């Protein structure tokens, strides 16, 4: 039998998990494929489903940049974008961030890595972590209702990483931290799409 404190702790843990980790929303169309390009510089992406699956157009967002101002995803079109959902309390996230930093520095002209911190411990904690670890790529903080995670198909665990081609189409989705070589391979795949 569970004691009252154990039941209460279990309830709190369950509720917290539901709020933070289980998300729904966004259209999931795993079989959606990019439309054929009509111009030699950009694919026609107007008919794509917006969502968090490979082949979907990535959902646009505007989030608070910890360096000041806001960052809008659609402003990065024309570059490969790696979006990494993470938070300061997550050991696999912390392990993956230096690899993302290295890939970001290796391709400054045609790649933008964007960290989307859940910010459970507050924006100041995120700022301090970024400063202490010399992370230079753009870092934003999720909206308080985690709508951005829902829009990306319900990010259920972190780190979760999305690789977008220059048109904003998702070409790769990874759950869990990866090596610099794997992030590099994702970048090259997006560059070639």
**E strand intervals along the chain:** 62-65, 70-72, 80-86, 111-117, 139-141, 160-164, 170-175
| pTM higher than the cut 0.85 | no
Tokens of 64: 């608070």
Q: Give 131's pLDDT tier (boundaries 50, 70, 90).
A: very high
CATH 3.40.30.10 fits 25-192, yes or no: yes
pLDDT value at 130 more than 70: yes
* Residue 125 dihedral angles phi and psi, to the nearest 5°: -65, -40
Task: Check whether 13 has a pLDDT greater than 50.
Answer: no
pLDDT bin (cut points 50, 70, 90) of residue 45 is low
The mean pLDDT of the chain is: 82
Mean pLDDT value across residues 26-34:
31
pLDDT of residue 1: 55
- How much is the average pLDDT of 44-70? 89
């Amino acid at each position: 039998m569970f004691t009252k404190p154990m039941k209460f702790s279990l309830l709190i843990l369950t509720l917290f998990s539901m709020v933070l980790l289980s998300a729904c929303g966004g259209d999931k169309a795993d079989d959606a494929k990019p439309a054929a390009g009509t111009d030699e510089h950009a694919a026609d992406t107007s008919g794509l489903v917006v969502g968090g699956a490979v082949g979907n157009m990535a959902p646009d967002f505007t989030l608070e940049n910890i360096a000041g101002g806001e960052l809008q995803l659609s402003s990065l079109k024309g570059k490969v974008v790696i979006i990494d959902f993470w938070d300061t309390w997550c050991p696999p996230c912390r392990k993956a961030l230096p690899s993302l930093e290295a890939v970001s520095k290796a391709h400054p002209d045609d790649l933008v890595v964007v960290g989307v911190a859940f910010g459970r411990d507050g924006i100041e904690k995120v700022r301090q972590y970024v400063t202490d670890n010399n992370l230079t790529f753009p870092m934003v903080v999720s909206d308080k209702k985690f709508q951005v995670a829902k829009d990306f198909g319900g990010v259920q665990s972190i780190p979760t990483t999305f690789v977008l081609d220059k048109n904003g189409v998702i070409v790769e989705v990874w759950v869990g931290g990866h090596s610099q070589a794997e992030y590099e391979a994702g970048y090259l795949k997006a560059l070639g799409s």
